[in-house]
Amino acid sequence: MTAQFPDHIIFRDERYDVGGFSNGPIFLPNHWGVETESRCSANLRGYTVGYSVIDDELFTTYLFLNSKDGLYPMIGGVTPEDGVYKGLKMKVPYDGKLRLLKDFDRKYYMHIGFQAAAGHNTVLELSFEKGKLIEIHDRSEEAQALRAEYDKKYDSSPLTILHEGWDDFKKLHMKFD
């Protein structure tokens, strides 16, 4: 499997990768009657989503869909061009946490799935209630501690320890609090 394109989020004028959702994904194409398929091995889901936190509220602001049957419905009042929905501003009534990731250290790159949370120097968890931001938890120091613990055991790239250190590497993905 290839490393995957993550969703992204704009928070306080900075772009982050979305590193997970505590209560499952926010956007699923099948909720809009779209069955997606992959255009490339780096996007096996066949879609990517952009979010923004605007005035402490969560919005979907960008979508890319690769529709299996070529049908692209209007979503949020936006008609797509080539599967791209630009200019969206759909409020999301999400209850749960989103993990935001930035400043990835390529030392922890794995050519499979989504990159580990602790492989990033900046790890934030935003808590939402009905789409309203209620808490920000900076877990960057915890991520740094996990990297340090990992580095004590393995002095090489995760690519070289797949068999001997896979369980340790999985810890770098970090569970939600």
19 in a domain, yes or no?
yes
116 in a domain, yes or no?
yes
Residues 77 and 15 in one domain: yes
pLDDT digits (tens, 9 = 90+) for 72-84: 999 999 999 999 9
31 in a domain, yes or no?
yes
48 in a domain, yes or no?
yes
Residues 80 and 111 in one domain: no
Residues 114 and 167 in one domain: yes
More confident residue, 18 or 3: 18
Q: pTM of the predicted model, to two decimals?
A: 0.80
Q: Which amino acid is at 120?
A: H
More confident residue, 6 or 21: 21
Closest among 117, 98, 96, 97 to 108, alpha carbons compared: 117
Residue 13 CB contacts under 8 Å (≥ 6 apart), including other chains: none
Residues 101 and 40 in one domain: no
Q: Which amino acid is at 95?
A: D
Residues 34 and 68 in one domain: yes
Q: Band of the pLDDT at 124, cuts 50, 70, 90? A: very high
144 in a domain, yes or no?
yes
Residue 65 CB contacts under 8 Å (≥ 6 apart), including other chains: 29, 34, 36, 46, 47, 72, 80, 83, 85
pLDDT digits (tens, 9 = 90+) for 97-122: 998 999 777 666 565 555 677 777 88
Tracing tokens 């002095």 back to the chain, one arrives at 155
The Cα–Cα gap between 143 and 153 comes to 16
Q: Band of the pLDDT at 152, cuts 50, 70, 90? A: confident
The whole domain housing 55 covers 8-91
Residues 57 and 70 in one domain: yes
Residues 101 and 164 in one domain: yes
- Collapsed DSSP state (helix, strand, coil) of residue 135: strand
67 in a domain, yes or no?
yes
The Cα–Cα gap between 23 and 3 comes to 23
Residue 153, token pair as written in the block? 């055991």
Structurally, how many domains does the chain consist of? Answer: 2
Q: Band of the pLDDT at 3, cuts 50, 70, 90? A: low
Residues 85 and 22 in one domain: yes
Residue 51, token pair as written in the block? 């979010």
The Cα–Cα gap between 176 and 137 comes to 11
More confident residue, 126 or 160: 126
